[in-house]
Structure 1
Amino acid sequence: MGTPLGDFIRAKRDGVQPESLGLPERGRRRSPGLRRSDLAARAGISVEYLTRIEQGRDRNPSVSVLNALADALSLAHTERSHLRYLAKITGGECAAHPQPAPPPREIRPSVRRTLELLEPGIAMVTNRLGDILARTSGYEALVSGTGLLDADAPNLTRYVFTDPRARTFFADWDAIADEQAFDLWLGPTLENSDWLTAELAPIAGPEFTRRLNHTRVPSRGVLRLNHPAGPELRLDRETMELTADDQQLIVYLPADEQTARAIDRLRPHSRLRVIS
């Protein structure tokens, strides 16, 4: 039986073309991508050991082996972080936890002041589970009429997978769904992720659960929104990690002039909203 770590390594190996790494083409193959022997040689480990990792028979590769595999596969920074996380949960280091529980929702005063300085721009503070912990008036205007902020404790992940309006609001719904499911892998603690997963799985069904088994890092390109009050909006996203809090400050910027003009019409002049 495989493991998340083994599945990720095998999927990345299958997606690498040998010529992109300067390796010679060796004719027809039974499977796509990089041969197991080529990856093992590049990482400096045996083929037998790589096979054990991919098949889940070795669940505790060392940090040096993980780094060697990341180098051999030319993983990006986010993929390297994901590889380390998968190694952690595969090795059982997260096995002993209390009952699933929601994460804390506190916002540091300095983070609140930073968000206030961004008014009347479009920004919010969230965690990896999708809880919208604080937002500017510009963000409220952006999502007005979509149902995202209807709940007392709005959660973007829950909205994407359970509210039919999300499929209209997000022009690239599939990509956004991939992002939200992937972020659960990076949640502050495993029990926090389990809390939301246990709630969503019975409601959202296969659209949610099948994404939990994917290990592909989403690209997070331009955000395209179908706002109820106007034309399609195209927004760039700048994300600042608040590592001490396991939170993120996300700022949304118009990606074109049409979007900038539309946002100027939507943008109110109210104050920051913080949801505790």
Structure 2
Amino acid sequence: MGTPLGDFIRVKRDSVQPEQLGLPDHGRRRSPGLRRSDVAVRAGISVEYLTRIEQGRDRNPSVAVLHALGDALALNTAEREHLRYLAKVTGDECTGRLGPEPARREVRPSVLETLRLLEPGIAVVTNRLGDLLAWTAAYEALADGTGLLEGDAPNLTQYVFTDARARTYFADWETVADEQAFDLWQGPTAENAEWLAAELAPAAGPEFTERMNRHKVPERGVLNLHHPTAGDLRLRRELLELASDAQLLLVLLPDDEATAGAVARLREQTGHGRLRAIS
């Protein structure tokens, strides 16, 4: 049985071509990408040990081995962080250290006060599962008419994969879907992520499952939206980690004057004018 760590290493190995690393092409191969022997030599480990990691038979590689594998696969900074995270998750699953406690939904008063100070800006408190926990009036105006904030416990991941309106609202839906699937790996706990993934899989279909197995680390560039009344919007994202709460503060900034004007008009038209918190 494989592990998230082994799956990620195998996916990256298959996606890197020998010439990208200055390695000779040995001709026809049974699978794309690097051979295990190529990666093992570059990392200074045995092929047999690499095989055990990929197949989930060794769940606790040392920090030095993880660094060596990151170098061998030429991982970027975000990919190296994901590699370390998956190593922790895999080791915790093996020793049973992860607890079943639900993800925290309460937003601290000081964080709510920070949101108030960000008015009339566009900001939301969320977590890696996609739960939308508190937001400014401008964020509510931005979501007006899209279905994103419907229900008592709105969730961005569920919206992206199960609500047809998301494919219109997010102009770059494929990119956003990749981001939400990846973020599940960074959930408050592995059990939280596994529970939500299991809940979404039947309705979201194979697209969701394939993305979960792809481990594609997102770049998070400009967010392009197609609002039902405001039209096309371009928003830059600033993501602040609230580490002690396992939550995030996302701030969206207009990327051009047209978007700034459209957001201001949208806020006036919808009449949203107060902070909203879910707990």
Q: TM-score, length-normalised on structure 2?
A: 0.89
Greater helix content:
2
The alpha-carbon deviation at position 222 of structure 1 amounts to 1.6
* Equivalent position of 2:171 in the other structure: 171
* Equivalent position of 1:133 in the other structure: 133
Q: Is 1:271 equivalent to 2:278 in the alignment? A: no
For the residue of structure 2 that corresponds to 1:84, the secondary structure is helix
Q: Kindly provide the amino acid, as one letter, of the partner of residue 273 in structure 2.
A: S
Asked whether the 8 Å contact 1:124–1:139 carries over to 2, the reply is yes
For the residue of structure 1 that corresponds to 2:74, the secondary structure is coil
Q: Kindly provide the amino acid, as one letter, of the partner of residue 136 in structure 2.
A: T
Q: Kindly provide the amino acid, as one letter, of the partner of residue 112 in structure 1.
A: L
For the residue of structure 1 that corresponds to 2:45, the secondary structure is coil
Give CA-to-partner distance per residue, 1:135-181, whole Å, 9 cap, x none. Answer: 01110111100011111111111111221111111111122112111
* Equivalent position of 1:225 in the other structure: 225
The alpha-carbon deviation at position 132 of structure 1 amounts to 0.6
* Equivalent position of 2:156 in the other structure: 156
* Equivalent position of 2:261 in the other structure: 261
Structure 1: runs of 5 or more not aligned = none
For the residue of structure 1 that corresponds to 2:83, the secondary structure is helix
For the residue of structure 1 that corresponds to 2:214, the secondary structure is coil
Report percent identity of matched pairs: 71
Give CA-to-partner distance per residue, 1:216-269, whole Å, 9 cap, x none. Answer: 212222211110113211111110111111111011111222212211211347
For the residue of structure 1 that corresponds to 2:48, the secondary structure is helix
Q: Which region of structure 1 is more displaced relative to structure 2, 52-61 or 21-30? A: 21-30
Q: Which region of structure 1 is more displaced relative to structure 2, 116-125 or 6-15? A: 6-15
Asked whether the 8 Å contact 1:14–1:33 carries over to 2, the reply is yes
The alpha-carbon deviation at position 187 of structure 1 amounts to 0.5
The alpha-carbon distance between structure 1 residues 24 and 202, as it changes in their structure 2 partners (threshold 3 A), is closer
For the residue of structure 2 that corresponds to 1:244, the secondary structure is helix
Separation (CA, whole Å) in 2 of partners of 1:212 and 1:200: 11
Separation (CA, whole Å) in 2 of partners of 1:18 and 1:138: 49
The alpha-carbon deviation at position 101 of structure 1 amounts to 5.8
Q: Is 1:76 equivalent to 2:79 in the alignment? A: no
How many residues align structurally? 275
* Equivalent position of 2:111 in the other structure: 111
The alpha-carbon deviation at position 24 of structure 1 amounts to 4.5
The alpha-carbon deviation at position 29 of structure 1 amounts to 4.5
Asked whether the 8 Å contact 2:7–2:213 carries over to 1, the reply is no
Separation (CA, whole Å) in 1 of partners of 2:213 and 2:219: 17
Q: Which region of structure 1 is more displaced relative to structure 2, 21-30 or 199-208? A: 21-30
Asked whether the 8 Å contact 2:98–2:189 carries over to 1, the reply is no
RMSD, matched Cα: 2.1
For the residue of structure 1 that corresponds to 2:146, the secondary structure is coil
For the residue of structure 2 that corresponds to 1:213, the secondary structure is helix
The alpha-carbon deviation at position 25 of structure 1 amounts to 4.8
For the residue of structure 1 that corresponds to 2:253, the secondary structure is strand
Asked whether the 8 Å contact 1:94–1:190 carries over to 2, the reply is no
The alpha-carbon distance between structure 1 residues 169 and 50, as it changes in their structure 2 partners (threshold 3 A), is same
Q: TM-score, length-normalised on structure 1?
A: 0.90
The alpha-carbon deviation at position 49 of structure 1 amounts to 1.4
Q: Kindly provide the amino acid, as one letter, of the partner of residue 273 in structure 1.
A: R
For the residue of structure 2 that corresponds to 1:160, the secondary structure is helix
Separation (CA, whole Å) in 2 of partners of 1:214 and 1:148: 25
Q: Which region of structure 1 is more displaced relative to structure 2, 183-192 or 265-274? A: 265-274
Separation (CA, whole Å) in 1 of partners of 2:77 and 2:267: 35
Q: Kindly provide the amino acid, as one letter, of the partner of residue 267 in structure 2.
A: R
* Equivalent position of 2:211 in the other structure: 211
Asked whether the 8 Å contact 1:136–1:273 carries over to 2, the reply is yes
For the residue of structure 2 that corresponds to 1:59, the secondary structure is coil
